[in-house]
Structure 1
């Protein structure tokens, strides 16, 4: 694996890193994605022609088109790869980030999906984007991860890492659930709602945003806590520092559950505790030259479009 230059201190935010040599590159994607095998095969051949060693994540390596390259599971990728290229939507990249999180292998996203807040390179421009990165014109941004542990009768029964958010909610067939929330051991609130989102700055533009939560810049080290359809309108989103410990206790409700990034799930029982903390490791995103956080917001949230009154006034 590559190591950062000793003079390059990675903090929350974007810095320029010029010293990394990505010798072994892992390609990951979601199986059964239409056309993905052809794209990955072309990408792997292109990278090999530039003298990089290419490995393929094992769940997508069964295709005959990809049989020429070595396959590895995520644990092996985390130990051996210098760069992971995720080809898919944001969800594909989030899944990879959870798997390789403790090793903090740099991640580069190629957007095979629709929105793409963390997948910078459009699929149609993958060759140009990779050429830019491999030439050293890139930045690395460190994004915080969330750690969640479910305890039952004082014993841990489930845990996960999350990039975007940890969500405690009801099933689609159940009514509201009642939750008690503590912050650093102090009672904060009891609320009845469809659920509660605890999101990172990265996740503030995901599910939390659709629940009317605020957008938190990635350089702000914090959590946002956003109720989902609360019974009381006084239950509002709140921003918290990321050095706190949040405990959510299930008081009442049918079929409650907890999820990480809406991809990994666990059923909950009454009196279960969900402890949420800032994880000790981070996701390291590789951005090609020219990346702009605000540019991404303008593009994905249509902030670049003129106000309606200007159009109608003409």
Structure 2
């Protein structure tokens, strides 16, 4: 005896329960079209059943007052997921702050390069819907904890996702740096500066200075000289557990910057110490995401093939 056909509908992906029910949005609010983009994404999230909040500055500058406004620490405490609408600079700024809370981030690209804000705005609906329900590629990124020491006292601290850069000022002369790794003397280097970069930062300033690309799964750091006096002074890849110390020996108006977003002036004898942060940034990508797809697209590999 044959059984009657099963007329029950097969559940679709959108029928799955939400993995992330409270989503915070951070926007590049000063960019043209940002308000409309944030509003469109927020409406989509609301229709998907999510509670939606806006980061405080994003809320203030877009006037989208129908959504609760949260400070960054409040987002870290209450949101399950953060959406960053902008470019990699926006992601760097908010990522460093949210990493300590363990909140995962998804980047929707309204910038130019988009190495870590990788979802094109026009595709956000199709890409976000499965992510909200737990289908994604998890991509942890290590952070650097940096400090500046002067006469035995810590005078500046910062966290970096891309890089820590020590460089000369506007004077047309090099600076001299004493470099140590794990307490072992490496060399006194004369150059325009030195970049200490994470794998994430290997596609940023370090790449422009001749450094190699590091896959984000590699637990290491790059040490890349900027225009060194000695041409055999080449980029070095170091283990991720290494502590790097850079002392200012000579040179005018030396400074250090961290992800190109925070800055401090340096004096002779200052030591910049860089080690792995206890926190890591957690990026989420659509299923099927590949680092090599990103490199091929953003660096224009295979063009003309």
- Partner of 1:300 in structure 2? 298
TM-score (norm 2): 0.91
Counterpart of 1:132 in 2: which secondary structure? helix
Say whether the 8 Å CA contact 1:174–1:255 is kept in structure 2. no
- TM-score, length-scaled by structure 1: 0.89
Quick check: 1:22–1:82 contact (8 Å CA) kept in 2?
yes
- Counterpart for residue 250 of structure 1: 248
Quick one: distance in 1 between partners of 2:29 and 2:63?
13
2:99 is paired with a residue whose SS is helix
Once residues 42 and 304 of structure 2 are traced to their aligned partners in structure 1, the CA distance between those partners, rounded to angstroms, is 41
Q: 1:268 to 1:28 in 2, by over 3 A?
A: same
> 1:163 Cα deviation (Å)?
0.6
Q: CA RMSD in A?
A: 1.6
Q: Map of 1:1-314 to 2, 5 A cutoff?
A: 21-63=19-61, 65-306=63-304
Task: Check whether the contact 1:174–1:254 (CA below 8 A) recurs between aligned residues.
Answer: no
| 1:64/1:184 CA distance change after superposition, 3 Å | closer
Corresponding residue pairs, total: 290
Query: In 2, Cα distance between the equivalents of 1:148 and 1:19?
Result: 41
CA offset at residue 175 of structure 1? 2.3
- Does the 8 A contact of 2:54 with 2:70 survive in 1? yes
> Aligned pair in 2 of structure 1 residues 133, 162: CA closer, same or farther (>3 Å)?
same
Structure 2 CA distance for partners of 1:20 and 1:281, relative to 1, 3 Å: farther
Segments of structure 1 that go 5 or more residues without pairing to the other structure are: 1-17, 308-314
State how far apart, in whole Å, the 2-side matches of 1:53 and 1:291 are: 26
Structure 1 residue 304: deviation in Å? 2.5
1:293 is displaced (CA, Å) by: 0.7
Structure 2 residues without counterparts, runs of 5 or longer: 1-15
Tell me whether 174-183 or 298-307 shows the greater mean CA deviation: 298-307
Q: CA deviation at 1:176?
A: 1.3
Corresponding residue SS for 1:68: coil
Question: What is the CA–CA distance in structure 1 between the aligned matches of 2:86 and 2:168, rounded to whole Å?
Answer: 29
User: Which one has the largest radius of gyration?
Assistant: 2
Distance in 2, matches of 1:39 and 1:102, equals 27
Distance 1:64 1:236, change over 3 A: closer
Q: What is the CA–CA distance in structure 2 between the aligned matches of 1:34 and 1:110, rounded to whole Å?
A: 15
Q: Tell me the secondary structure at the aligned position of residue 60 of structure 2.
A: coil
Whether the 8 Å contact between 2:20 and 2:133 is mirrored in structure 1 is: no
Structure 1 stretches of at least 4 aligned residues deviating more than 4 Å after TM superposition: none
- Find the residue that maps to 2:300 and give its secondary structure: coil
Q: Which whole-Å CA distance do the structure 2 matches of 1:32 and 1:224 have between them?
A: 33
**How far, CA to CA, are the matches of 1:86 and 1:270 in structure 2?**
39
